[in-house]
């Protein structure tokens, strides 16, 4: 997570965005976290920010996200912004789902009418991605699976696109996909000191397109964060 934060600061510097960081200790109290977030809400020099997840387990993640000023929510995870996504109204979109859709578009992957299986039900990727993909602008048919799905293969083997975001290393193997499928790996796990995704190595010989992990969706997530920050700044300044 700390390395990811460093990369975000570097990205901001490269495009001319002034970035700040409020770092709190691991034993931070709820009151201290609330004070830090409210300070950013009230700071006119701050036009957009995120709460870097995950936060310590003794703190309520959803509660922390709800404290963010929705107008400064650069991650698109405030309940109001997620609610607007559900209602199909304009809102700041969560960075990783937005990055996945942009990645597929840029590589000419047809989403209109496509069968897309999303494996993972988390609030940062799985749930919002399903909502984005079923908008009329994307028009995909989405099946949301997870670690409790009884027969995962029955869903993934018919999919044109599989997005793996369950956080289970090597969960999606070649026998679970059809020939020529498009695979997007969003899972992040540490195995023997290395970052690995949810796709097994054998999928590369069977799929038409595969995003590497690391180095695939991560850079797109950071790019969408920068885009959201610019959008928030322009909105706050009435542009």
Domain boundaries, the chain: 2-90+220-236, 95-217
95-217, what's its fold? Answer: Rossmann fold (3.40.50)
Taking domain 2-90+220-236, whether its CATH number is 3.40.50.150 is answered by: no
Q: What pLDDT, on the 0 to 100 scale, is given for residue 170?
A: 95
The backbone torsions φ and ψ at residue 25, rounded to the nearest 5 degrees and listed phi first, read: -70, 165
In Å, what is the CA distance from 82 to each residue of 55, 63, 114? 20, 14, 24
- Please say whether the beta carbons of 47 and 92 come within 8 A: no
- Please say whether the beta carbons of 212 and 198 come within 8 A: no
**pTM score:** 0.93
Q: What is the pLDDT of residues 146-191, one digit of tens each?
A: 989 999 999 999 999 999 999 999 999 999 999 999 999 999 888 8
Long-range contacts of 18-26 (CB under 8 A, 24+ apart): 20/46, 20/49, 26/56
Known catalytic residue at 8: yes
List 8, 73, 160, 185, catalytic entry: 8
Q: What is the pLDDT of residues 125-137, one digit of tens each?
A: 999 999 999 999 9
CA distance 34 to 5: 20
2-90+220-236 and 95-217 share one fold: yes
Query: What tokens appear for 2 in the block?
Result: 């700390």
List 52, 202, 206, 231, catalytic entry: 52
Known catalytic residue at 194: no
**Helix, coil or strand: residue 19:** coil
Q: Where are the alpha helices (DSSP H) in the chain?
A: 2-15, 30-42, 61-66, 79-86, 95-106, 126-133, 152-156, 217-236
List 69, 75, 185, 198, catalytic entry: 75
Known catalytic residue at 11: no
């Amino acid at each position: 997570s700390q390395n990811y934060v460093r990369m975000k600061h570097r990205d901001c510097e490269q495009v001319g965005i002034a970035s700040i960081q409020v770092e709190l200790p691991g034993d931070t109290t709820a009151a201290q976290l609330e004070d830090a977030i409210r300070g950013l809400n009230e700071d006119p020099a701050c036009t957009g920010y995120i709460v870097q997840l995950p936060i310590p387990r003794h703190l309520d993640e959803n509660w922390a996200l709800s404290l963010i000023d929705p107008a400064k929510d650069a991650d698109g995870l405030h309940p109001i912004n997620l609610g607007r996504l559900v209602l199909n109204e304009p809102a700041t979109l969560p960075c990783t789902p937005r990055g996945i859709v942009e990645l597929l578009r840029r590589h000419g992957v047809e989403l209109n009418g496509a069968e897309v299986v999303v494996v993972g039900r988390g609030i940062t990727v799985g749930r919002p991605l399903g909502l984005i993909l079923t908008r009329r602008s994307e028009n995909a048919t989405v099946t949301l699976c997870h670690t409790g799905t009884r027969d995962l293969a029955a869903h993934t083997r018919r999919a044109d696109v599989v997005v793996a975001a369950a956080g289970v290393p090597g969960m999606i193997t070649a026998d679970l996909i059809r020939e020529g499928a498009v695979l997007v790996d969003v899972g992040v796990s540490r195995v023997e000191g290395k970052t690995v995704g949810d796709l097994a190595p054998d999928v590369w010989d069977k799929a038409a397109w595969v995003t590497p992990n690391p180095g695939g969706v991560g850079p797109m997530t950071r790019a969408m964060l920068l885009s959201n920050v610019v959008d928030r700044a322009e909105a706050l300044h009435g542009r």
